[in-house]
Every structure is written in C-alpha cells, then in structure tokens.
Amino acid sequence: MKILVTGGAGFIGSHIIDKLVEKHEVIVLDNFDLQVHKAKPNYLNEKATYIEGDVRDRHVLSNVLEGCEAVFHEAAVVGVGQSMYQIHKYMDVNTLGTSQLLNILVNEEHDVKKLVVAASMSSYGEGAYKCGNCGIVFPFLRTEEQMKQKKWELICKCGKPLHSIPTKENKYQFANSVYALSKKNQEELCLMVGRTYGIPTTALRYFNVYGPRQSLSNPYTGIAAIFLSRLKNNNIPVVYEDGLQTRDFINVSDIADANIFSLNNPNTDYRVFNVGSGLPISIKSIGETLAAMLGKKIHPQVTETFRKGDVRHCYADITALTSLGWKPTISFETGMRELITWSGTQVADDKFEQATQELKEKGLVE
C-alpha cells in the first residue's frame, strides 16, 4: 500500500513512518519548520520518500497524494500559549491546511481508502469530574478571580469539591486556546467529509505525548521536553500553580502503534478515540522524576502563578480503543528513561525564559 504521512518528519510522524515502512511504500510531506527543526533531522527513515512542501500548497499536496491509498494527517503547528497571539498562523496551517487536503479528496480523483487524523485532548478543555451531590459534571475553566486567590481545585456549582475522573470521548469539547480550536477543526472536518464521501476516517485524540525526537529546543512543545531542556542546562524547571495539576502522559511509540492499529482495523472507521495511558501524573512530579533520573539535585520551582486558559486535571478513559485490541505498553518510568538516554545525544537550547517573556508581554501569564 502507498501511504502519505503529512508532517512526517516531526516527532510523532517519524515514529509512525518507522512502523509503516516495513510493509508499505511511504511518502512524506513536511515543511521542516525551523521552530521544530534547526536542520533536517538525522532520524529520517531512508526507506521513505521525503517531499519538502506545505499542506497549504494545493499543487504540492495534490501531487504527493497521487496513488496513495491511505493518509496519516499529522501536520500541524503545535503550542497552546503561542497560538493565542499567532492566531492567523495556527488557523491557517491547522484548519485551512486540513481543508486543503479534504478539498482535494472531494474534488479530484484519488485512491484514498483510509484517513487517520491527529486530534488532541486539548479540545476537551477541562477534564471530567465527579461531585458527591451532582454526579459526573463537566465544568468550564476556573475564573481568573479564583486563580488569583490561589484556589486551584475546581468547585461544583453546588459548592462541593470536584474530583477528577477519566475523560471519555463523549465529553463536551470546550476548546480553550486557538491551538485547541484548530485541532478540533481538524478532527471535525475530517470526520464530516469522511462520512459524507465514504472515506473511512479515524480521529485519534492524543494526550500528552513524550519520547525520543521531541524537540528539546522548542519551548512550545510538551512539558517533559521543556523540563528536560531546563535540566540539561542546569536550570530549574518552572511549575505553575501548586504543581499538583495532572495530565496523562503517553509514550510516542504507543501513539504510533495506535495509528497503525487504526489503519488496519475497520472498527475504528468514522470514530474518535482517546489515546493516552489512562493514568494521571502531576506536573511537579515530571520535573522531580527527570531530575532524579539525571542525577541532578535540582527541584522544580513551584511559582503559584498561573497561565490563562490552563486546565487543572485531564486524563484519558481509553476503554473505547482498548476494547478493540490496542493498549499502551510502555510504562512511564521506562519511557522517561528512554527519553533521557536519547537526550544524551542531543543539543538542548533552553528557550523557556524567552517564551515565558513573550507570554507575559501578551498578558497570558499572571
């Protein structure tokens, strides 16, 4: 089978390609964004064919789609905070780039029989919670007034404290950043067009992905890579709020496996799936774990400040995908050790302070 992977030179896409090339002919379209790549990465798989180009370029995209029977749409600009002041760029690349792909699939001859799109847990906003009085609830974001009072946990409308529970795919999506909205657009556009025109489509909502090849010099990437970059430069990882906010960390190899699983399983057609570990881990503990594994006596700095739009807790209910036969296989500790081993061969430019200053100038950090 001939397969196109957009954004295939990136962190997640490259791992998908490594698994695909053993059985398929793989074409990669990537623009090699300088914020992610200082130069063309040395991990590019020689068994794949790489085309440098942009998903917004209809001519280029139409050419690379020729003869392809499946598409993994991974191309996207990533960064929650940055998206709030580079609004046009994020919507242009993520939303309009996706619309360009779908426009070709609708209006030109093609052989595509499967589309897998990278969606995001960020589209949920806050995760799911349970109240002793009201049962399961889906709260909106905490108010700035509450955050300024350093009351970090969520309170139900009835006044009782809320307790986080796994988030299912049927939870209402309350996108709280331009990035989140653009990823929601990607997901909904692909599923809508796929259903209408009979192109089997699967949307995978990635939770917090970490692992080898994640840029250590991009301050808008995942928290594990940001903390690791700080520590490699003997700088203190900075933690917002009280550090006890939780996320679901999933290894990139498990993400790649979920993509391959979706390609080969028709039971995933026209559906949305969470792809996570199903386990909540505090942000503070990420910094502590990385420092301990690196043998550095550096403790995260808990600032008790906050970023506008941040959620408190969100972790995945992965029952829908595991019930079909997929499951994560790499433990958090094993994955973090793998990340650290890989980082030993990488240069990490710590640009956290620069990125934080930009967020402050845009009024996004209190």
Q: Which of 179, 210, 240, 315 is catalytic?
A: 179
Place of tokens 């050790």: 337
Residue 272 is classified by DSSP as E
Annotated catalytic residue 210: no
- β-bridge mates for residue 336, sequence order: none
The DSSP line for 316-339 is: B--HHHHTTT------HHHHHHHH
Handedness of CA 32, 34, 36, 41 (dihedral sign): positive
Cα angle: 220, vertex 53, 111; to 5 degrees: 110
Closest CA to 135 of 173, 104, 162: 162
Which contiguous run of DSSP H or E holds residue 232? helix 223-232
In what order do the strands lie in the sheet containing 128-131? 135-137, 128-131, 163-165
Which contiguous run of DSSP H or E holds residue 281? strand 280-282
Q: How many other C-beta atoms can be found within 10 angstroms of the C-beta atom of residue 144?
A: 11
Q: Which two tokens stand for residue 247?
A: 């996320």
- DSSP H helical segments within 2-52, as ranges? 11-20
Residue 79 · residue 221 · CB < 8 Å: yes
- DSSP H helical segments within the chain, as ranges? 11-20, 58-65, 80-83, 87-90, 97-107, 144-148, 178-197, 223-232, 252-264, 283-294, 319-322, 332-343, 352-361
Q: Please list the active-site residues.
A: 179
